[in-house]
């Protein structure tokens, strides 16, 4: 079980809304970052990352890729939207922000991770 988990039906509903929103944004050209990514790529599959974005020109781990879309002639093809089933909505790396959970702020400082001490 993951550090932070939701009931399956809530997670499935959230995933559906999340992917619908991303695909609609790609179709409407709402995200300059993805548009610029397509301009740089020119042709091929462009991965959209939810967390842990890789170094320029590198492909990240499959569990860090939220979705992929085909780019042709520097244009995003939103109908080719492919969900990456191995993407985790939340995991211990994300919850701890990549920090050592034992180096949290002193007591009295509010943190959702405070209960891990």
Express each pLDDT in 33-51 by its tens digit.
899 999 999 999 999 987 7
Q: Which domain holds residue 29?
A: 8-89
The pTM of the whole model exceeds 0.85: no
Q: How confident is the model at residue 74 (pLDDT cuts 50, 70, 90)?
A: very high
Contacts with 50 (C-beta within 8 Å, 6 or more apart), sequence order: 64, 65, 66, 87, 89
Of these ranges, 2-6, 8-12, 60-64, 76-80, the one predicted with the greatest mean pLDDT is 76-80
Q: Residue 100: inside a domain, yes or no?
A: no
What average pLDDT does the structure give for the chain?
A: 75
Q: Are 67 and 76 in contact (CB under 8 A)?
A: no
Q: Residue 101: inside a domain, yes or no?
A: no
Report the number of distinct structural domains present in the chain.
1
The predicted pLDDT at position 6 comes to 52
Q: Residue 19: inside a domain, yes or no?
A: yes
Q: Are 87 and 50 in contact (CB under 8 A)?
A: yes
Q: Residue 35: inside a domain, yes or no?
A: yes
């Amino acid at each position: 079980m993951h550090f932070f988990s939701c009931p399956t039906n809530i997670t499935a509903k959230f995933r559906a809304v999340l992917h619908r929103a991303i695909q609609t944004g790609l179709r409407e050209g709402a995200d300059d970052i993805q548009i610029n990514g397509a301009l740089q790529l020119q042709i091929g599959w462009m991965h959209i990352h939810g967390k842990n974005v890789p170094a320029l020109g590198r492909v990240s781990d499959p569990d860090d890729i939220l979705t992929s879309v085909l780019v042709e002639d520097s244009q995003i093809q939103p109908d080719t939207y492919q969900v990456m089933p191995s993407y985790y909505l939340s995991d211990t790396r994300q919850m701890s922000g990549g920090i050592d959970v034992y180096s949290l702020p002193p007591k009295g400082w509010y943190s959702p991770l405070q209960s891990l001490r």
